Amino acid sequence: MVRELSHYVDGQHVQGTSGRFSDVYDPCTGEVSARVPLAGAEEVGNVVANAEKGQREWAAMNPQRRGRILLRFVDLVNANMEELAALLSSEHGKTLPDASGDIQRGIEVVEFAAGAPHLLKGEFSDNAAAGVDVHSLRQPLGVVAGITPFNFPAMIPLWKSGPALAAGNSFILKPSERDPSVPLRLAELFTEAGLPNGVFNVVNGDKEAVDALLEDPRVSAIGFVGSTPIAQYIYATAAANGKRAQCFGGAKNHMVIMPDADLDMAADALIGAGFGSAGERCMAISVAVPVGKATGDALVAKLEERIADLKVGHSLAKDSDFGPVVAASAKERIEGYISAGVEEGATLLADGRGLRVEGYEGGFWVGPTLFDNVTKDMSIYKEEIFGPVLSVLRAEDYDEALRLCSEHEFGNGVAIFTRDGDSARDFASRVQVGMVGINVPIPVPIAYYTFGGWKASGFGDLNQHGTDAFRFYTKTKTVTTRWPSGIRTGASFVMPEGS
Ligand code: NAD
């Protein structure tokens, strides 16, 4: 029996009324496990109206109390971690430990956001002119929305909503229609933690719901994460509608391996960062750039050895290194890229096409894939594949490796593996990419730093989480004050008489 999912509005589940639905799959079996309603413009309008109503009470609460509710939410998420991770796994296909990591990296941002009293403090200048003081304060925007991708169904909604809520906004989440059950469960836990009704809402849907949010004048800001073409569309449309927006897009993350690197460490890192979560991470490494022929030959041999030992299997099985990709269309797209790589002349050393997993023949499986001798003009290098496909593009020297990373259209994450501090320092300083790892393959910044890519990986000037998030979700008011002289002059020391 297929479950029918709902929206979550005003502290409760609400059935969809548009009559449109999208199927949600179990990627391990390929079977439909639920159907999610796709909201129409009228339903979105109702959610916004509720969010607007809830926001006034929420913004009036002092930020320390708001923070306490968020910390109660974190406790509830921790208490329900196993159930949430299994639910996440069942719709996304990532392994259980990886699903817990998805949730964990989300609640770390909520914990950080609970420090709102400190983060919302303004500035003060005493005696800016004779008898004049100036101070600034940060006020919530009102109703804000987050539109999030399938690949981190807990982490990214919490990256957006934690700071937005802590700052006193109400939040409307439009999660991916591929794995909406965890976002709905998080909404229940927010209510259980004491969040007032209407302050955190989930509206499920596709382009129609997104466009309704973009066009609604009551929505002040849009935080988006997903593919680059949609990020660009949302950034432009939000701006045309007078909203602020931060939109994060796709990626093609390189790892440079210098001749002096610890090659075993680099190979292990590449296997985890290239194939973990079936390569469906925006910070996955999809291009390895060994410097020099000897480094390239040795690295490729180590990668081939390790790939032969990888186990692709059911996401709940303890011995699976990674599970299926999210959808049949994703499997088809990834296998199409592998065929294109062969046609374009890259050397295919491990082929993940046509993988069968016994007992789960209907699942969306793609095995680990390794290409050597990839060149800059190939589609497998230029475009984001978003699957378990690792390309090796060999560089002659450090300068060529640095140029490759810097000149790529995307600029999300990058890593260098070396024992030489000077090369590492030069690389971190000059590379044109937003997040850099030095002997760290997936440099996702911790909650109190900010996360954001450059170039086609990010649109907008403020990053996610860290202090930027509080600047994004608040508007600054600056107050200039002069007081007329009061009771210090002409004060009366005589008891006033009644009239
Ligand atoms: P996607 O762009 O297909 O969808 C993202 C969101 O946009 C979903 O909520 C979806 O419903 C909505 N959407 C889809 N088409 C739309 C349209 N035409 N108009 C309006 N809204 C639309 O992305 P995805 O497949 O869910 O996620 C994978 C992508 O996200 C990859 O490109 C990955 O690199 C990227 N990503 C980026 C980051 C980052 O921080 N830079 C993080 C995670 C994922």
Can you tell me which atom of ligand 1 is nearest the CA of 174?
A: 9
Q: 369 CB under 6 A from ligand 1?
A: no
For the chain, give the secondary structure using H, E and C. Answer: CCEECCEEECCEEECCCCCCEEEEEECCCCEEEEEEECCCHHHHHHHHHHHHHHHHHHHHCCHHHHHHHHHHHHHHHHHCHHHHHHHHHHHHCCCHHHHHHHHHHHHHHHHHHCCHHHHCCCCEEEEEECCEEEEEEEEECCEEEEECCCCCCCHHHHHHHHHHHHCCCEEEEECCCCCCHHHHHHHHHHHHHCCCCCCEEECCCCHHHHHHHHHCCCEEEEEEECCHHHHHHHHHHHHHCCCEEEEECCCCEEEEECCCCCHHHHHHHHHHHHHHHHHCCCCCEEEEEEECHHHHHHHHHHHHHHHHCCCECCCCCCCCCECCCCCHHHHHHHHHHHHHHHHHCCEEEECCCCCCCCCCCCCCCCCCEEEECCCCCCHHHHCCCCCCEEEECCECCHHHHHHHHHHCCEECEEEEECCCHHHHHHHHHHCCCCEEEECCCCCCCCCCCCECCEECCEECCCCECHHHHHHHCEEEEEEEEECCCCCCCCCCCCCCCCC
- CA–centroid distance, 86 to ligand 1, in Å, is 23
pLDDT for 99:
98
Rounded mean pLDDT of the chain?
A: 97
Question: pLDDT tens, 5-53?
Answer: 999 999 999 999 999 999 999 999 999 999 999 999 999 999 999 999 9
Residue 204 has pLDDT above 80, yes or no: yes
Question: pLDDT tens, 81-126?
Answer: 999 999 999 999 999 999 999 999 999 999 999 999 999 999 999 9
Q: 251 CB under 6 A from ligand 1?
A: yes
Q: Is 28 a catalytic residue?
A: no
Q: 442 CB under 6 A from ligand 1?
A: no
Can you tell me which atom of ligand 1 is nearest the CA of 147?
A: 9
- How far CA 64 is from CA of 60, 118, 199, 471, in Å, comes to 12, 9, 17, 18
Question: Sorting pLDDT into bands at 50, 70 and 90, what band is 498?
Answer: low
Question: pLDDT tens, 149-160?
Answer: 999 999 999 999
Give nearest CA residue, ligand 1 atom 35: 226
Q: 459 CB under 6 A from ligand 1?
A: no
- CA–centroid distance, 50 to ligand 1, in Å, is 26
Give nearest CA residue, ligand 1 atom 9: 176
ipTM tops 0.90: yes
Q: 259 CB under 6 A from ligand 1?
A: no
Task: Please report the domains of the chain, with CATH numbers, ordered by start residue.
Answer: 3-249+457-479 (3.40.605.10), 253-438 (3.40.309.10)
Give nearest CA residue, ligand 1 atom 39: 248
The model's pTM? 0.96
Residues 148-174, mean pLDDT to the nearest whole number: 98
pLDDT for 490:
65
Best CA proximity match to 47, nearest among 237, 267, 198, 241: 198
